Structure 1
Amino acid sequence: ADMSFAQKLIWYEFDPEDIAKLSLVYRDRDKIRKRFEDYLLDRTIPKAIADMEKTVSDPVIQGLKEKISAYDRASWNCEKEWVVATKEVELGDGKKAEFGDVYDLPADLAEEAINEKIAARGIWACEECGAYYYQKKKPRRCFKNNDCDSTDFEPLHPSGHAETGDAIKNNYIFKTMNETGQIYYFDGRNRFRKKGAEMLIRSKTKEMIHSCRKHLQNEVVEHVRTSTNMPEDDFGLPREKMAVENGILNLTEDELEELDPEEETPIARIPWSYDPEAECPEIKQFIREVVGKEDMKLIQEMFGYCLLKDYPKARAFMLTGGGANGKSTLLDLLVEFIGMENVATPSLQKLLDNDFASARLYGKLANIKSDLSDKKLKNTGAFKMLTGQDPIEGEQKWIQEALDFFNHAKLIYSANELPKTDDRTEAFFRRWIIIPCENHFPEDDPNTDSDLPYSIISEEEMSGLLNWALKGLHRVMEEGFSETASREEKKKEWFMDSDSLRAFVNEAIVEDPDGVIPKKDLQNIYEDYCDHHGIYTAQKAQVTKRLRSIIPVASGGPGEWYRPEIEGERPRCWRGIAVKKEFLEHDYIEGDYVRRVRRMNTPSSNNISENNSEKNINSFSKKSSSKTLDTPDTVVIEVTKGFEHGGTTFEEGEKIVPGDDLSMDAAEKAVKRNLAEKEKPEEKTQWDIGGIKKDIVNLLKQGENLPKAEISDKLGTPVETISKAIDQLYAEGKVGKGGREVEGEMLYKFLDDNVEAI
């Protein structure tokens, strides 16, 4: 008892005489009070001093050497305690603990250091005499010197926000992104994390200063934030490196390296160790059962591509097929492989429509979503940016400044039905890799493993999967993604279903300067095509409106129809295009219109009468050059209030020809609802300028110079229309001025004898 009491007083730096006096009056130790003062001075206290001056035990030295400068504190799965070094202790290898240093140590090691008298839970210095007190709580008064009874003490351990923040930074590694103010901390497992960073600082502040208020915690957080900032470009590893469980994997060389968290800042880590000898037979068998042998390479490449923090190949992935076919289970395996914290989960539709969703991709390896809905995809320009190495501006809630970054997260989804899209460009569909999953695994089948993929996940299998994925990545970077027939067929079906008209044009129509196709015949062939493939058919008005945007050389539409005589009729016709002969050989294309189109595709066909005989001048009439608007199918209505119908927007003032732009029923409803009004047929005639120009050329080619008024009379066409047509012919060099009549009217003549009649 006397030895223990003396050691405690020596620890507090009491003189031997004072210790002897205090021992004799120590109330709770009868044995000590029986000792004489000489006995205490001669025997007890010297022995206590000798024991106190013993060297620190080797286990404690070794423990401190391993722990005080460790980078992996955040991963220690043990209770920890803050201590302050009370003396300088050499630890070897150039390491030492110095007086006043603060360490967050495992609780058992902290207790041993305190017992060895090299650390304390706190250090207080008397402001009057400078005496040290090694304790957590502030002393009530100084009692080490007879002439000092001060109650003022200065803490030599962290107490303010700056010292506390510095102590936490000395034990944990923090890095703050300049652009966002987001704090990341090193989790001790080869990765920096932002989730939980502020909470770590707050909890460590509370451990160090038990009575601290929230205000002090906030100040410590801000101190760490503002003293650890660095640019966004310094975050992450080079694209050829990936953090794994046991180090940094060089993806190019397949070699493992050590991480220096002071110099490198990985924010993505694969949660499996790299073992070049590991294999994954069970996982490969599972993948083969889901996608088949043909697409095994493609899945291998998809897994490997997720390891690359770059997007050099503009591709996204879609696994398709009905339910219970393993596609969602396969994506669950992918999530387990790359780690849930490396995966963003917004749906593709949300990613394209929500301004804040894209920011969730920053630092992620993949955006994975199972069972994608068939909701229409809008704003597909954002999709092209996310897969095309374009800079992304990710808006963040509660943060004013947007996050600018390049997306590395591979877009990977599964769906029972492919979503619709208004994007009909090749650039959109080219980016997709469609992987059909056509096998079925009923839940009630005893051979179906309901615990997949978790039943086949193990350290050995997942390390083997990493090796397998690396081979896929190498193949992608050298050769691109593996092409398969099933993938291309699925992509074609999606394209056809999303835009049946463009798919039809791509497969069936060819540019032909001399081509002529009756509008109804083309519509019938298009409908046969859609019926055969089981895809939707665009409305007739949409076919008319969109065909020219898909194939610009096509001439036709309201006011521009070509109406030659064909088999005794004058149908509306498209010009500049023809149906591919081989396409007309399909068995599902049938009907009289096929025979007519086949004949018209032949250059020598004589079923089209152009009425170009030089002698038959009077045959050029209003009927052949225009379409009168006195019949129900050619009534023109004018939009008086903008409206939408069938996905098409009709603007105020727009002229609509029912049957071409809008169905007759829809046009009548628009008029009844005061959204449009009919124009008077007797006052409106829509002329085919192209036909009028041909009539004028053939008329003037007879050799007579004529004024506009006479040409108007001969062709039965308003002077305004004739004037417009002549102006165009004049600009084209086909018609010239041929003098003036006596009344001063300008005469026009056929200009070039080498130009044949149109």
Structure 2
Amino acid sequence: MVEITPEQDIAHQIIDNNKICTVIETDEMTRYNGGVFHRGRQSLSEIRKQITQIASNYLIPLKESSKPYNCSTSKRNEIIEIIKSNTFESIVEFDQEDNRVNIINGEIHFYPSNLKKANNLWEFIATEGLYEINESGTHFTNHPLYNESPYLSFVQLPLMYDPEAECLEVDQFLEDIFGFERVPDIYEMLAYFLMPTVRYQKAFILYGPPKTGKTSFINLVNQFIGGKYPERLISGVPLQDLDIQYQISNLRNKMLNIFDDLKSTKLTTSARFRMSVTNPTLTAEVKYINDHLTWKNICKHLFACNQLPGVGKNTGDEFWRRWKLFDCFNEMDDSKQDLSFANKRWGGLELSGVLNACIKAWARLEKRKHFRNDDQEYVKGLWQMDIEPAKMFVDENCQLDIEAEVNVDVFWNSLNTWRAGLNVNPISKTMLTQSLQRISGDISKPKRRKGDKWVYKGIQIIKGEIVGELIENNEKLDKFTSKEYDHKKYWVNEKDYSDEGAF
């Protein structure tokens, strides 16, 4: 009979009393508690604590008596190594089910494509039996009991499932920022953030002037996905840094990568960004690990900026098709601009209501198989019009001519009318002037004498229907002073955009 050493005995007691997995690729010991395998120092510290407790009461049998076990540092390390060698699992075995969401009080299983309606009940036929599920195609289960095998997952969202919960305050908050018609799209984005998969292959960016709620929305997302400790599930790598060595490894075991206040610095390369948006697995260098590490990719991207970053002239469709843009031009009222609202702590019941809204949005996505308005040419146009707000208009409707000139008010009004026809927000005169001067150094806005109208020199509008509008607008301009005309500037969605300072 093979004798068991005290170290082996203590190690197997620890294994029997816990659910432990040691990741083969990183030699990291993880411990199951509350429905999820916890990584990092906390798990290892708990194991060391249990070793100390068992060792303090452990007696080594002798022929006629026994003696206390002396657990030195070397023996404790030996016990830990025995535990590791008996609990190895590959990192690729974790979070394998794309339609399974781990939350605090259980797990939500999504089956929207496998439903049949019978006797007014939604049912799912699975290999393990018949589950009753709701109209959104979900089935909720509690976490497994102690004697049951747990689901291998590093990810647990800080949410409680309550089928009766609502989120009326969040609904209004989203409407204030994005507008009523975009709220369903926002919930579909949040639903995608919940998915332990990147199958929809989209990254998201919020853009628009300051004080339009972008940071307040990101605060909501941080609480919804990350809870009190967002760093566990959320990384913070800027878009421009994803191609820097080791940065892509920061996405490992994260549900979301968020970076607020993105710089408008030109994006010189996007290869690793594109991979992180579409590839179901990622391989990268990781600090302190000799070999490259491969893991399941579940991390989505959310960025926010005042102006979209520049891109290269030869940027292709492989970049544009990976984006979904949300413009934020609705200035928040005074009560929602202060720091207390930007850092608001949303209640747990309200976030449970958001979860219910996301369950419905998940079902819509699964049925449609893509996000709404999923047009890469539209995304490309919006992006380019934000970087150079006048360039597309100039390319399509204007001619550069050093002898030509056009009235500033008329040009500005015509440009914003054209932008409105494309469902794009208007720009200020200052933004227009800066954009025109970037297009050509020959375009100028010379100083005027008192009473004269401002003009742009070096450019003229030549497209027929625009010229016709110019004549009509010129006739209208003659009836107003400059001050009166400025007060009647272009309005969109019942908002007055004549204030250049708002941009």
User: Does the alignment reach a TM-score above 0.5?
Assistant: yes
The match for 2:493 is none
Q: Which residue is 2:435 aligned to?
A: 534
Judged with a 3 Å threshold, the aligned counterparts in structure 2 of structure 1 residues 390 and 191 are, in CA distance, closer, same or farther, namely closer
CA distance in 1, matches of 2:384, 2:265: 16
* Aligned match of 1:275: 162
Distance apart, 1:491 and its partner CA: 5.2
* Cα drift, residue 278 of structure 1: 1.3
Q: Deviations over 1:495-528 (max 9, x none)?
A: 246589996899589xxxxxxx9xx989x99xx9
- Is residue 474 from structure 1 mapped to residue 375 from structure 2 by the alignment? no
Query: Which of 324, 347, 369 is 2:259 aligned to?
Result: 369
CA distance in 2: counterparts of 1:266 and 1:248, whole angstroms: 11
Question: Unpaired runs of 5+ in structure 1?
Answer: 1-155, 510-516, 541-580, 591-758
- 1:102 is aligned to none
Given that residues 282 and 296 in structure 2 are in contact (C-alpha distance below 8 angstroms), is that contact kept between their aligned partners in structure 1?
A: yes
Match for 2:78 among 219, 227, 231? 219
Question: Does structure 1 residue 310 correspond to structure 2 residue 197?
Answer: yes
| Matching of residues 229-628 of structure 1 within 5 Å | 229-252=88-111, 253-260=137-144, 262-339=149-226, 340=230, 341-350=232-241, 352-389=242-279, 391-422=281-312, 424-441=315-332, 445=334, 450-452=339-341, 455=344, 457-479=346-368, 480-483=370-373, 492-496=381-385, 534=435, 537=438, 586-587=466-467
- Residue 449 of structure 1: CA displacement? 6.1
Q: Structure 1, residues 15-73: CA drift from partner, whole Å, max 9, x if none? A: xxxxxxxxxxxxxxxxxxxxxxxxxxxxxxxxxxxxxxxxxxxxxxxxxxxxxxxxxxx
Contact 1:353–1:378 (8 Å) recurs in 2: no
Shift of residue 344, structure 1, vs aligned partner: 1.6
**In 2: Cα distance, 1:536 partner to 1:405 partner:** 48
- Confirm whether residue 194 of structure 1 aligns to residue 53 of structure 2: no
Tell me: CA distance 1:354–1:183, structure 2 relative to 1, closer, same or farther (3 Å): farther
Distance 1:304 1:404 in 2: 25
Question: CA offset at residue 531 of structure 1?
Answer: 6.6
Task: Spell out the pairing of 1:562-711 with structure 2 (5 A cutoff).
Answer: 586-587=466-467
For 1:534, the aligned partner's letter is: S
Task: Tell me if the contact between 1:201 and 1:220 (Cα under 8 Å) persists in the aligned partners.
Answer: no
1:517-562 deviations in Å (ceiling 9; x for gaps):
9xx989x99xx9997892674689xxxxxxxxxxxxxxxxxxxxxx
- Aligned to 1:399, the other structure's residue is in SS state coil
How far residue 270 of structure 1 moved from its aligned partner, in angstroms, is: 1.7
- 1:325 Cα offset (Å): 2.1
In angstroms, what is the RMSD of aligned CA positions?
3.8
Q: Does the 8 Å contact 1:344/1:366 carry over to 2?
A: yes
Shift of 1:396: 0.8
Alpha-carbon contact 2:158-2:224 (below 8 Å) kept:
yes
Q: Secondary structure at the residue paired with 1:353?
A: coil
Q: Secondary structure at the match of 2:190?
A: helix
> Where does structure 2 lack aligned partners over 5 or more consecutive residues?
57-69, 112-136, 406-410, 416-430, 442-460, 471-503
Deviation of 1:238 after TM superposition, in Å, equals 0.8
In 2, Cα distance between the equivalents of 1:505 and 1:383?
A: 31
Cα deviations across residues 336-373 of structure 1 (Å, max 9, x unaligned)?
112222212222222x2322121222222111121122
Q: State the match for 1:56 in structure 2.
A: none
Whole-Å separation in 2 of the counterparts to 1:387 and 1:583 = 40
Say if 1:224 and 1:438 are closer, same or farther in 2 by CA, change over 3 A.
Answer: same
Judge conservation of contact 2:281–2:294 (CA < 8 Å) in 1: yes
Classify 1:582/1:271 alpha carbon distance in 2 versus 1 (closer, same or farther; 3 Å): same
Aligned-partner Cα distance in 1 for 2:74–2:437: 63
Aligned length: 377
Question: 1:497 touches 1:535 (CA, 8 Å); kept in 2?
Answer: no
Contact 1:377 1:420 in 2 (8 A): yes
CA distance in 2, matches of 1:406, 1:507: 45
Q: State the Cα distance separating 1:326 from its structure 2 match.
A: 1.6
Q: 1:469 to 1:446 in 2, by over 3 A?
A: closer
Q: Is the 2:256–2:300 contact (alpha carbons within 8 Å) kept by the matching residues of 1?
A: yes
Q: 8 Å contact 2:198–2:298 — kept in the other structure?
A: yes
Please state how far the C-alpha of 1:478 moved relative to its aligned partner: 2.0
Identity of aligned residues (%): 25
Given that residues 280 and 465 in structure 1 are in contact (C-alpha distance below 8 angstroms), is that contact kept between their aligned partners in structure 2? yes
> Matches of 1:437 and 1:490 in 2, distance apart?
15
CA distance in 1: counterparts of 2:329 and 2:90, whole angstroms: 47
Q: AA paired with 1:256?
A: F
CA change 1:532–1:308 in 2 (3 A) is same
Contact 2:246 2:285 in 1 (8 A): yes
SS in 1 for 2:194: coil
Distance 1:202 1:301 in 2: 43
Per the alignment, residue 49 of structure 2 pairs with 203
Shift of 1:493: 4.1
TM-score (norm 1): 0.45
Establish whether residue 185 from structure 1 lines up as the match of residue 31 from structure 2: yes
Task: Give the partner amino acid of 1:347.
Answer: P
Give 2:305's aligned amino acid. Answer: A
- CA separation in 2, counterparts of 1:289 and 1:337? 19
Work out whether residues 391 and 436 of structure 2, in 8 Å CA contact, stay in contact via their aligned partners in 1. no
The 1:426–1:215 alpha-carbon spacing in structure 2 relative to 1, beyond 3 Å, is same
2:389/2:435 contact within 8 Å kept: no
| Structure 2 CA distance for aligned equivalents of residues 583 and 306 of structure 1 | 45
Q: TM-score by structure 2 length?
A: 0.65
Please say if residues 496 and 535 of structure 1, whose CA atoms lie closer than 8 Å, have aligned partners that are also in contact: no
Change (3 A) 1:454 1:447: closer
Q: Name which one, 1 or 2, has greater alpha-carbon Rg.
A: 1
- How many Å separate the matches in 2 of 1:242 and 1:369? 24
Shift, 1:582, TM fit: 8.9
Within 5 Å, which residues of 2 pair with 1:127-166? 160-166=6-12
SS of equivalent to 2:340: coil
The answer to whether the 8 A contact 1:159-1:209 is kept is: no
Cα gap change, 1:227 to 1:371, in 2 (>3 Å):
same
Q: SS at 1:354's partner residue?
A: coil
Task: State the distance in 2 between where 1:403 and 1:392 align.
Answer: 8
Mapped partners of 1:387, 1:508: distance in 2: 36
Decide whether aligned partners of structure 1 residues 346 and 162 sit closer, same or farther in structure 2, where only a CA change above 3 A counts: farther
The CA distance in 1 between the partners of 2:374 and 2:435, in whole Å, is 23
Q: Which residue of structure 2 aligns with residue 167 of structure 1?
A: 13
Q: Is the 8 A contact 2:36 2:156 kept in 1?
A: yes
**Which residue identity lines up with residue 91 of structure 2 in the other structure?**
E
- Give the aligned partner of residue 452 of structure 2: none
